[in-house]
Amino acid sequence: MREKPIYQDIQRSLAILRYLQRAPATKTTLIDYVLVEVEVDAYPDEAKAASRRFERDIERLRDWGVEIVTGPGHEYHLQSYGAFSPVSLDDAELSTLAFLSETFAASAPQAEAVQHLLRRVLDWLPVGQRSAVGLKRQRLRVDLRRRDDDFISSPVQAAVEKAHDERRQLRFWYLSPGQADGKPRQHTVEPWHLHFDTMRRHLYLDAYRLRVIGPLGEWSQPRWQKYRLGRILPDAIEVLPDKLPPTPPKRPRHELEYLLAPEIARLGQVSHHFDDMTVHPPDADDWVRVTARTDDLFAAVQVLLSYGARCRVIGGAEARQVMEENIAALAKIYKLPA
pLDDT at site 148: 54
Closest alpha carbon to 16 in 7, 27, 5, 2: 27
* 84-90-96-100 Cα dihedral, nearest 10 degrees: 0
Below-50 pLDDT ranges, the chain = 1-3
Residue 153 contacts residue 168 (beta carbons within 8 Å): no
pLDDT of amino acid 2: 44
Residues across the chain = 338
Question: What is the reported pLDDT for 1?
Answer: 39
Asked if residues 265 and 288 have their Cβ atoms less than 8 Å apart, the reply is yes
- Other Cβ atoms closer than 10 A to 216: 7
**Per-residue pLDDT, 172:** 97
pLDDT of residue 105: 62
Three-state secondary-structure class, residue 41: coil
φ, ψ at 293 (rounded to 5°): -135, 150
Q: Quick one: pLDDT at residue 213?
A: 94
CA distance 112 to 114: 6
* Residue 285 pLDDT: 87
- Give, to the nearest 10 degrees, the angle between helix 91-103 and helix 127-147: 40
Q: Residue 266, CB half-sphere, CA atoms under 13 Å: how many?
A: 4
Which sequence spans correspond to the domains of the chain? 3-80, 91-243, 254-333
**Beta partners for residue 258, in sequence order:** 290, 313
Rounded to whole angstroms, the Cα distance separating 238 from 193 reads 17
Closest CA to 204 of 133, 291, 144: 144
Bridge partner list, 243: 168
What pLDDT, on the 0 to 100 scale, is given for residue 138? 66
pLDDT value for 92: 87
| CATH number listed for the domain at residues 3-80 | 1.10.10
What confidence score (pLDDT) does residue 124 get? Answer: 84
